[in-house]
Structure 1
């Protein structure tokens, strides 16, 4: 995938019935299905059953088994409730006879009320002053570990620019924080809010567990750590557009029992908080 159009194509599901859909997969460099893809497709399936103009405000999910890139994913939607203000959907994802993922999503009618939000970090470097993953590959590809170089070589519909570039050969522990600017490649104008939320959900599965690995960077890296998303939750606060760079600001409060927990906030460049994310992942040291 090289542009937002490829990502939009990935979100399109084949309708089997009013509550059942099939989705295809695209690799992001891993031998298994990317969790962000399953999240976004499941939200797409759930939203297809919403016919009262309610807006997705939260979702909670569990990854049960790794997805096979070669098999279609079938999404079954259960209409749990359509109340006076909220609608709830439950989505179960299957490959053959295996349940690989479950998700609950809640939709809320548009209402007005009190507002506040936390501020974006001050004095962060701006995207124009930073190197993207593409730039890092072009400038330092010959010096990167083989697995990291291969990951950067995968074509993506999103450009990422970390505010701090970590040298994997430094072998020193780092604070449990990670801030990454991101921007879609191609024309992302004229998208409806539901589609923008699905794209944002896809992106939210990138980078977040990095903040949990940083405090152990003197000895742990992606090559000697078995990682997998276990659960993923997201809250959607405000409408937004993908017409500029956006900031994903992440932190990891805890790592224990071979599980890393991380949470993040996503801001527009102007500092509007549009979503928050929480994820726990398996982060098991590989003993050789």
Structure 2
């Protein structure tokens, strides 16, 4: 009987299905894809799943705030401890600590709310080229990866659970100082369970992708610059509307400030039909080691 290798999307979903160890105590693992440290979006997503599993099903997440303290070890399991801070009539609050080798690597505060009616408004989705008219993975490889350094080529050619189609790739191939903003289309590369907990966790996972890159555009640099040390320091996210993640999402990002070895970035995630489903803010370490 032949055994097929699980896809990157299957591995992501499996990694979010945390193992319960005791009440309010969970264990997560990392897909073994050759990364030197755990991807920040994975830790955010797993911590959110741990918190949500201690909250009644009728209270989906509406916001989270997290701090990265230490890089995660992909070879070791991550233990998530949940503190039930408050359970009110409409809202619930949870604090999660992610621990490896006896030390905290990430902390998360999350708030959950019963769905209710209220005033309705959102900023309109930007008018951009649809994803079908942009180069796919193969076209991008043919266009600029042939002569690219090994670390850039391996990044783009690796199978990933999220497909990314940038509106522009100029910042990857140019050292010109550009406007500190970017837009990319993103979508999952496999089916997503019909479970609002996992859907929110995957949205949190992909929200950490390409975001901090935007802070480098104004300096003519990219995350592939070997002289830069780039890492997420914190991550905040607000969930405005549920999404089944069954189509492309537009991720619109900008960076209003870099200083003090840090870069600040903001993002908005839209469904293709124009619904604003989440907003994101992040500050990251940007250190020039040269």
TM-score, normalized by length of structure 1? 0.94
2:98 corresponding residue in structure 1: 93
* 1:119-170 deviation digits (Å, cap 9, x = unpaired): 1112x11101112345322443221122111211221111110001126443
1:268 corresponding residue in structure 2: 271
- Give the 3-state SS of the residue equivalent to 1:147 in structure 2: helix
Instruction: Give, in whole Å, the separation in 1 of the partners of 2:47 and 2:209.
Output: 17
Instruction: Give, in whole Å, the separation in 1 of the partners of 2:281 and 2:253.
Output: 9
TM-score, normalized by length of structure 2? 0.93
Spell out the pairing of 1:147-158 with structure 2 (5 A cutoff): 147-158=151-162
Question: Does 2:251 correspond to 1:248?
Answer: yes
- Give the 3-state SS of the residue equivalent to 1:106 in structure 2: strand
CA contact (8 A) 1:264 1:276 kept: yes
Match of 2:84 among 75, 79, 83: 79
Over 3 Å counting, the alpha-carbon distance change for 1:28 and 1:249 in structure 2 is: farther
Structure 1, unpaired ranges of 5+: none
- Aligned residue-pair number: 285
Q: Which moved more, 1:172-181 or 1:21-30?
A: 21-30
Q: How large is the RMSD of aligned CA atoms in angstroms?
A: 1.8
- Give the 3-state SS of the residue equivalent to 2:226 in structure 1: helix
CA contact (8 A) 1:29 1:150 kept: no
Instruction: Give, in whole Å, the separation in 2 of the partners of 1:26 and 1:103.
Output: 21
- Give the 3-state SS of the residue equivalent to 1:152 in structure 2: helix
Q: Which moved more, 1:237-246 or 1:167-176?
A: 167-176
Question: Does 2:285 correspond to 1:285?
Answer: no
Over 3 Å counting, the alpha-carbon distance change for 1:219 and 1:120 in structure 2 is: closer
1:41 corresponding residue in structure 2: 46
Instruction: Give, in whole Å, the separation in 2 of the partners of 1:79 and 1:130.
Output: 45
Structure 2, unpaired ranges of 5+: 1-5
CA contact (8 A) 1:15 1:21 kept: yes
Instruction: Give, in whole Å, the separation in 2 of the partners of 1:33 and 1:261.
Output: 21
